[in-house]
Amino acid sequence: MNSTLKPSTVAMLTLAPLLWAGNAIVGRLAHELISPFALNFARWCLAFVLLLPLAWQVLRSSSPIWPLWREYLVLGLLGIGCYNALLYLALKTSTPLNVTLVSSSMPVWMLAIGRLCWGIAVSRRQVYGALLSVLGVAVVLSRGDLPSLLKLRFVAGDLFMVLATMAWALYTWLLSRSTGPQEVKTQWAGFLLAQLVFGLGWSGLFTGGEALLGEFRFVAGWPLLGALLFIAVGPAILAYRFWGMGVQRSTPAIAGFFGNLIPLFTALLSILVLGETPRPYHGIAFALIVAGIVVSSRK
């Protein structure tokens, strides 16, 4: 097989969904301790503190990021503030099953946005790969009983999840086409910190709205601190690092297929952490998702 993906690129694009799946599990365990928007804001504040010793130079007045502040403002909005805000809004009126099903359309949005915004051609292999990948997610969500998906009912929250998925797809494309200075883009900590400067503003704004609505919750203690440390180091810093490098080494369209590993990894981590029982359909789903990645990435 002549593949455009190197093993190191596959590893990066696989580790990011694995860490984001872990984020879902830890977030579920900590939901009684902290409200959703506050959790997002707190994890990025902690990530900012952890990144600061590695890339504080990017914040100097002479830094090359400031002439391009509009670009980082948009990246911070889409990747750090907007996606998670829309996800939490979706969960207020929708179910996790519906939300995950809607998010499985990620490869389709990746291909569509690339085509509409930048004229990137969509190959027949990518279409077939998208169908295989979405089918794999459907197997997980239906627990091997695909006809049960016909009983799903979509509500207003599902529209928020569609917008969230589109926001992440656009963010991924913008990552790959960023015009920022090369010395910042090649220093991953500085590149993420530059996005955080503006993303924290958006996330803080959403958290303020949560407080005004009386939904803010924060129960300080070691359990919450442990959850925040994991979320800040793993899903917030390392996963964004792996995803950004994986996108640069492949294409946003190919990376979108790896995003469908998130519901599968979430199911597998639920088995390990929450004591659920593995089923044969987990293996079938994994095979379909991997097949979609292989088909779409072949030359």
109 vs 282 pLDDT, higher one: 109
State the virtual CA torsion across 84, 87, 93, 97 in degrees, nearest 10.
-140
User: Is residue 141 in a domain?
Assistant: yes
| Domain coverage including residue 238 | 7-297
Report pLDDT digits (tens) over 20-42: 888 877 877 787 888 888 988 99
Q: How far is CA 297 from CA 13, 147, 262, 293, in A?
A: 13, 30, 19, 6
User: Is residue 103 in a domain?
Assistant: yes
What pTM value is reported for the model?
0.78
User: Is residue 67 in a domain?
Assistant: yes
Q: How many CB atoms lie within 10 A of CB 206?
A: 20
User: Is residue 1 in a domain?
Assistant: no
* pLDDT value for 1: 36
Domains of the chain: total: 1
Compute the distance between CA of residue 20 and CA of residue 163 in angstroms, rounded to an integer.
19
Report pLDDT digits (tens) over 148-196: 767 766 667 778 888 888 999 999 899 888 766 666 666 778 888 888 9
Give φ, ψ of 56 to 5 degrees: -60, -25
